[in-house]
Amino acid sequence: MSEATEILIARAAQLACFHAPTRVELLDGGKTNHNVLVEDQGQRFVVRFGADIVEHGVLRWNELAVSRAAERAGLGPAVRLAEPGLVVLDFVEARPLIAADRGDPAMVPALAGLVRRVHTDVMNELQGPVLCFWVFHILRDYARLLKDRGSVYASELEGLLVKADILSKAIGPSDVVLCHNDLLPGNILIGSSKMWLIDWEYAGFGNPLFDLGGIASNNGFTASEEHLLLESYFDRPVTDDLLRETLWSMVSEITSAIDFDYATYTAENLVAFRTAYQEFQNL
The 10s digit of each residue's pLDDT in 67-91 is 999 999 999 999 999 999 999 999 9
Q: Are 39 and 48 in contact (CB under 8 A)?
A: no
DSSP 24: E
Is the per-residue pLDDT at 242 higher than 60? Answer: no
Pick from 189, 182, 200, 203: which is nearest to 133 by CA? 203
Q: Are 92 and 191 in contact (CB under 8 A)?
A: yes
The 10s digit of each residue's pLDDT in 3-45 is 888 999 999 999 999 999 999 999 987 778 999 999 999 999 9
> In order of start, what are the domains of the chain with their CATH numbers?
3-93 (3.30.200.20), 95-281 (3.90.1200.10)
* pLDDT grade for 247, boundaries at 50, 70 and 90: low
Give me the pLDDT at residue 243, please.
57
Give the angle subtended at the CA of 34 by the CAs of 30 and 38, to the nearest 5°.
115
Gap between the Cα atoms of 60 and 82, Å rounded: 10
The percent of residues in the chain predicted with pLDDT above 90, rounded, is 66
DSSP 237: -
